[in-house]
Structure 1
Amino acid sequence: MSNKQESLGETLKNLRKAHRMTQKMLAEGICAQSLISRVENNEELPNVVILQQICQRLDVTLDQLMQFESEEIHGRNDRFNKIHHHFIQKNYLKLAQLLKDESLLSTLYLEADFQRYDYYLSICAFHVDKKPIKALELLKKAISSTHNRESLNLSTIEIQMMSDLGRMYHQKGQLELALVELRKVYQLVDGLPEERRTFELNKVYYYYGDVLFELEHYEESFEIVQEGMALAQQFCSYYYLEELFMLNGQLLQETQQIAEATEYFFLAKMVQRIVQD
């Protein structure tokens, strides 16, 4: 900790901003936005029930928040951010190396911490260790921590976990099971408020569109792919854009639109080169 101790309001504000949340997003389903504003300005202290709910949304313990241990919290978050960076870059080997650091476990406090840890382990088990059964077990364990799968307050990580479950079913050849799982996830994404949508949700559109394609539901797959490409454009993101371009090309090829398909195959290669550089 630094010598300068933050107030509860300052700590809450810093943590909220670190999670890229507005006051409205933090307050959703918990309390009035005006209460968050008053707490951050050190004008009011909410009751313990509301504080506990706020802490759960911010992935901190009540003790940490009340003791103003934001440096410790940020240190833990920084480690997870580095891990998540390699996850987003699909650098699974580096991700696996970081997860092997035994000191990482000592920084985990909350159920949400262990949930993310198990999720990343499952991804490494699948992509690095080539152990799909172990990967599926770890992923199901991580998802089991998400109590309400219909909640609008699900985090981006939780939604991604559910989509990866569908993807694993797909790659095991269990297409109908994959379709059911990915349709649920797509509906969750579709119901998210605009301010909670992020580029990381693009994998949902690709996974869902890909299983629809394999089941020869071409029209529905095409619509999903268009939504994914639009999301990538909205966030100026290349995340899963190569895969979406390639899938769109395959869909166009199936409908004998060869010239248009060739254009999207070319765009997919261009994105691949940009990401690799």
Structure 2
Amino acid sequence: MDNLGDILKETRQRRQLSQLETAENICSQSTLSEIEHNKYIPNTQLLISLCQRLSINFDDLLLAQNFSICKDRYFNQKVRSLYNSRNYQLLKSYLNRPTVTELVETSKQMQAYYFYLAVCDLHLEHNFDSSKEFLKLSLASTGHSRKQTTLTRICNITLAYVYAKQGLRTSAIKQINVALRNLDQITYDENLNIIYFVAALSYLALNKYDLAIKMVERGINFTRKNNSHFMLLDSIYLMAHITEKIQDSCHKLENVKKYDIFNDFIHERPYAKVN
């Protein structure tokens, strides 16, 4: 599944939406059908509208597989359910219950515990200072180990994003480099798809559009190379959003073609464009 139409269709079906519901007030059902059958490439405006209808939000830090906080299966399932449904307020309350830390037994579980708290505060009122402190506690939970686990990299790249949102350019770029270090040389984990995506978000927050685009492209190539489609639609949506921002700001980049930005990804056959 490495064509845009296939990914849009799979996402629509997962959301349990019909073509008619998805296309309403955006485009005709026949146009959506042509897109899903890879006969048309949507322009950025149309793609953004479809992604919004499908509840794609590139500010959400999605996970392919969640991290365990303790050995209690029900507890981990509850955390997973709240996190995946983006119910951050209830998740934060659930994690802040007095007895929760008594269930945490290992440094890896403690790292996950602080990570989830950091994400909750990141989404709730965009509390960057609190999120930053939880991320630092999460990273400190690894002790003196220099080995970066998947979760460690995710914490580092999330911290980069927080720094970027606070305008701390040097700190943000440093954390991006840490998270990306030797990424192509380690055993693949689907959650690693997040790294390039959040790196792109971080550069976008710093108004570094060219670097943001390069990170999205690297992420798409990394995802496809590992035969995954997790975060692909999110990445294409983010690329469309960046392209719109570039057009709005009259920022010129040689490697950006207004409505052909996806041609390297949606490859091989010539497609017509739709408005």
TM-score range, shorter chain: 0.5 to 0.7
The answer as to whether partners of 1:175 and 1:215 remain within 8 angstroms in 2 is no
Higher normalized contact order (CA 8 Å, seq sep 6+, divided by chain length) = 2
Give the structure 2 partner of residue 258 of structure 1.
258
The residue type equivalent to 1:258 in the other structure is K
Which residue type is aligned with residue 191 of structure 2?
Answer: E
The Cα shift of 1:187 comes to 1.2
* 2:189 aligned partner, one-letter code: T
Inter-CA distance 88–155: structure 2 relative to 1 (3 Å threshold): farther
Helix, strand or coil: the match of 2:260? helix
Offset, 1:77 = 4.7
The 2-side partners of 1:92 and 1:263 are apart by 36
- Which of residues 76, 79, 84 is equivalent to 1:80? 76
- The match for 2:208 is 216
DSSP-derived class of the 1:258 partner: coil
User: Partners of 2:229 and 2:87 in 1: how far apart?
Assistant: 17
Segments of 5+ residues of structure 1 without an aligned counterpart are 1-58, 61-72, 265-277
Do 2:160 and 2:175's aligned partners in 1 also have CA atoms closer than 8 Å? yes
CA distance, structure 2, for counterparts of residue 157 and residue 187 of structure 1? 14
* Contact 1:118/1:138 (8 A) holds in 2: yes
1:116-138: CA deviations, max 9, x gaps?
Answer: 21221122122125432122112
Work out the CA distance in 1 between the residues paired with 2:195 and 2:85: 16
Q: Which residue does the alignment assign to 1:192?
A: 186
Larger radius of gyration: 1
Are residues 86 and 261 of structure 1, via their aligned partners in 2, closer, same or farther at CA, if it must alter by over 3 Å?
farther
Aligned to 1:128: 124
Report what 1:164 is aligned to.
158
Sort the Cα spacing of 1:92 and 1:212 in 2 relative to 1 into closer, same or farther, 3 A.
same
1:229 corresponds in structure 2 to: 220
- In structure 1, give the amino acid aligned to 2:83: F
CA distance in 2, matches of 1:243, 1:139: 23
Distance 1:221 1:130 in 2: 21
Describe the superposition over 1:198-243 as per-residue Cα deviations: whole angstroms up to 9, x where unpaired: 221222101223334545362x54443223123444454443x344
Residues in 1 aligned to 2:145 and 2:75: alpha-carbon distance in whole angstroms: 27
Cα distance between partner residues in 2 of 1:237 and 1:245: 11
Percent identical: 16
For normalisation by structure 1, the TM-score amounts to: 0.56
Q: How does 1:1-277 map to 2 (within 5 A)?
A: 75-84=71-80, 86-87=82-83, 90-148=86-144, 150-151=146-147, 154-193=148-187, 197-213=188-204, 214=206, 216=208, 218=210, 220-233=211-224, 234=226, 236-239=228-231, 241-249=232-240, 250=242, 254-255=252-253, 256-261=256-261
Gaps of 5+ in 2: 1-67, 265-275
Tell me how far apart the structure 1 counterparts of residues 158 and 190 of structure 2 sit (CA, whole Å): 16
